[in-house]
Amino acid sequence: MTSPWTFGEEPLAETAELAAVLRRVTSLVLSMESADPRVRDLIATLTEAERSLAAAVPPSPVPRVGAAADGDGRVYVDHSRDIGAYNPCFPEYEVVVDGDTATGTITFPVAYEGPPGLVHGGFLAVFFDSVIQHHNCDVGVAGKTTNLELRYRRPTPLLTPLRFEIDRVANGDRIESTGRLFDGDRLCAEAVMRALAGDRSNLPAVSSRRSAP
């Protein structure tokens, strides 16, 4: 059996913990009815954290990958799966992979709202791209997305447990996946993603985490 595809360093546990908090707090702040001193306190705390953390990261924002692997840039965190677990800008989901099929669940919080009470369509594109590539990486053959077609069938509700399913077909170096997102039995959106299978031996070098100075 082909081993799962990875590329980059695993996220730190505290990074994942922070992502979950930031996502929840963002949803709460977006729901505020009026100005609140607790939000001002939060802004002050985060501003100070920004100043302090800036002194602890590498001087260059360029990821240490490929020709820049030995440079003074930042660590590159693995984006093959579960990006939402450590980056609050991405949706978080649960998925079970069974060969060329996968199923899972997702609940979009207020932070991903577009129309009132509904998920912004752009986040649905991010979701499908993320979970389909997660499927590819778990199967062990992944590559660059060449095309993503998204069809919105019905409005996708926020704060609602949704389920999804994915079917995958690989033909030579081409991979085509079809994903469907459901609210109960109602189809909300479907996507077809095509990818060019990569060769692990051609992946560029990725620098591991470095010890603190």
Residue 211 is predicted with a pLDDT of 83
- 55-72 per-position pLDDT tens digit: 999 999 999 999 999 999
- Separation of CA 26 from chain center: 17
- 5-49 per-position pLDDT tens digit: 999 999 999 999 999 999 999 999 999 999 999 999 999 999 999
Evaluate whether 95 touches 134 at the Cβ level (below 8 Å): yes
Task: Give me the residue label for tokens 């949704």.
Answer: 162
Residue 102 is predicted with a pLDDT of 98
Angstrom distance (rounded) from CA 136 to CA 113: 28
Higher pLDDT, 202 or 185: 185
Angstrom distance (rounded) from CA 74 to CA 53: 13
Residue 201 is predicted with a pLDDT of 85
Distant-in-sequence contacts of 166-171, Cβ < 8 A, 24+ apart = 166/101, 166/102, 166/103, 166/131, 166/132, 166/135, 167/100, 167/101, 168/100, 168/101, 168/102, 168/132, 168/135, 168/136, 168/139, 169/100, 170/100, 170/141, 170/197
Q: Per-residue pLDDT for 75 more than 70? A: yes
How confident is the model over 163-172, as a mean pLDDT? 96
Angstrom distance (rounded) from CA 184 to CA 157: 11
Evaluate whether 145 touches 194 at the Cβ level (below 8 Å): yes
- 105-144 per-position pLDDT tens digit: 999 999 999 999 999 999 999 999 999 999 999 999 998 9
Angstrom distance (rounded) from CA 103 to CA 179: 9
Q: Per-residue pLDDT for 2 more than 80? A: no
For every residue of 140-209, DSSP letters joined together read T--EEEEEEEEEE-SPPBSSS-EEEEEEEEEETTEEEEEEEEEETTEEEEEEEEEEEE--GGGPPPBPPP
For the chain, the domains span 13-202
- Model pTM? 0.93
Residue 213 is predicted with a pLDDT of 60
- 76-111 per-position pLDDT tens digit: 999 999 999 999 999 999 999 999 999 999 999 999
Residue 126 is predicted with a pLDDT of 97
Q: Per-residue pLDDT for 1 more than 90? A: no
Pick 13-202's CATH classification: 3.10.129.10, 3.10.310.30, 3.30.930.10, 1.10.275.10: 3.10.129.10
